[in-house]
Structure 1
Amino acid sequence: MKKSKKGTIAVLATGELGFLITGVRSAILSALDKALEPLGISAAQFVVFRSIADGRGSTIGELCRVLGYDSGAMTRLLDRIEKKDLIRRVANPQDRRSFLIELTERSALLVPQARRRVQKVFAQLLNGFDEKEAAALKTSLEQILLNAARIA
C-alpha cells in the first residue's frame, strides 16, 4: 500500500500553523525585548506607547483590544509603566468612570528612539526575503487575519 504524503495545508491544519505562529510571536517579542532593554522598556510597553502615540488607544478598553490583553493584565502593565513615569492616567471627560491614558514628556521622547530600534529588528527578521517573498508573506498573514475574523 502506498503511503500518501500530506500536503502543506493538511500539515498546517493539524495545529502546526498555531505552533509556528506562536513560535514566531515569541521570537519577535524576545528580539524586541532585547533591543528595547537599553531604553528600560519591554516590547509590550512599546506597543502601549505606540498605540497611544498613533491614536489607536487611549483607554484601558481600547488598549486591551489592541494588545489582546484582559483588563486585569492591562491594568498591571499600565501600573508598571506609570511607575516609570512614562504614562499618566487622566480623568475621562466623557466617562467619569474611566481614565484616558496619555504619554508623559519622558515617554514622548522615548517613542522615536524605540521606533528606530523596533524597525531595525523587523528589518533583520526580514533578512533573506526578496520583495516578492515579503509581499507573499504580508498577503498570507492578512488572509489568516481575515479568515480568523470570519470564524470569531
Structure 2
Amino acid sequence: MAYKSSDALDLVAFFDDLVRCETRVYNALSDRLRAEHSIVTSQFESLRHLRDHPGARVADIAAAFAIGIGATSKGVDRLEKRGWVVRQPNPDDRRSSLLALTDEGARLVDAAERTATACLAELIGEAFGGAPATVRAFADLRAALERARIGTPTG
C-alpha cells in the first residue's frame, strides 16, 4: 500500500490494491473450482446462497451480490440446465419463482465449499491469518456499504 508524503493513507492506491487482489483471488478460485467441480466462482456463490437461503428468488440473489437481475437470471438458467437448481412457483407472487437446490446441487455446493475453503486458505489465509482485525475491517466496510445501499445496480 502506498502512502502520501504526509503519511496519510493513499486511498486511490488502496483501491487499486483491493480491486487487483479481489480479481486475482476470484480468478484463482474459479480456476480451482473449474478443475475440481466444473463450476466457476459465480456459480459456487449462487449455489451457496441458495443453500443458505432456501426459497430465494432471482431478485434476492441479485441484491445479495449487487449485480443486475438480468445477469442473475441467466446464471440461474445455466444452473437449472445443469440440474443443480429448480424453479418453483412463488405462492405470494405469480411473477417470480422460488429457487431450490436439487440433491445434486446440494452435494456439489458442499464439495465445492470444501475446495473453496482450502483454496482461500492457501491464497489469503497466511496474509490474514494473523490479522483478524483486517478481516473484521472488511466485514464492517461491506456492512456499511450495504446498509447505505451504496453500489447497488440500478437496472
What TM-score results when the alignment is normalised by the length of structure 2? Answer: 0.82
1:24 aligns with 2:21: yes
Match of 1:144, as an amino acid?
L
Amino acid in structure 2 at the alignment position of 1:30:
N
Shift of 1:129: 3.7
SS of residue matched to 1:89: strand
Q: Which residue does 1:7 correspond to in 2? A: 7
Identity among equivalent pairs (%): 23
Residue 25 of structure 1 deviates from its aligned partner by 1.6
How many Å separate the matches in 2 of 1:145 and 1:19? 17
One-letter amino acid matched to 2:37: L
Which of 86, 89, 93 matches 2:87? Answer: 89
1:139 to 121, 136, 139: 136
Q: Residue 56 of structure 2: which of 52, 55, 58 is its match?
A: 58
Spell out the pairing of 1:96-115 with structure 2 (5 A cutoff): 96-115=94-113
Q: Which amino acid aligns with 2:64?
A: V
Q: Offset of 1:7 from its aligned partner?
A: 2.2
Cα distance, 1:146 vs structure 2? 4.5
Q: Is the 8 A contact 1:92 1:98 kept in 2?
A: yes
- Structure 1 position 34 matched with structure 2 position 31: yes
Contact 2:128/2:134 (8 A) holds in 1: no
User: Quick check: which has more Rg, 1 or 2?
Assistant: 1
Query: For this pair of structures, how many residues does the alignment match?
Result: 145
Note if contact 1:51-1:57 (Cα within 8 Å) is conserved in structure 2.
Answer: no
Higher RCO (CA < 8 A, seq sep 6+): 2
Contact 2:54 2:100 in 1 (8 A): no
Distance 1:121 1:32 in 2: 7
Task: Tell me how far 1:96 sits from its aligned partner.
Answer: 1.1
Consecutive unaligned residues of structure 1, counting only runs of 5 or more, are: none
Q: Distance in 1 between matches of 2:42 and 2:114?
A: 16
* 1:32-82 superposed Cα distances (whole Å, 9 cap, x missing partner): 111111311111011111111111771011100112111111011111111
* Deviation for aligned residue 1:30: 0.7
Quote the Cα distance in structure 1 between the aligned partners of 2:8 and 2:133: 16
Query: 1:45 aligns to what?
Result: 43
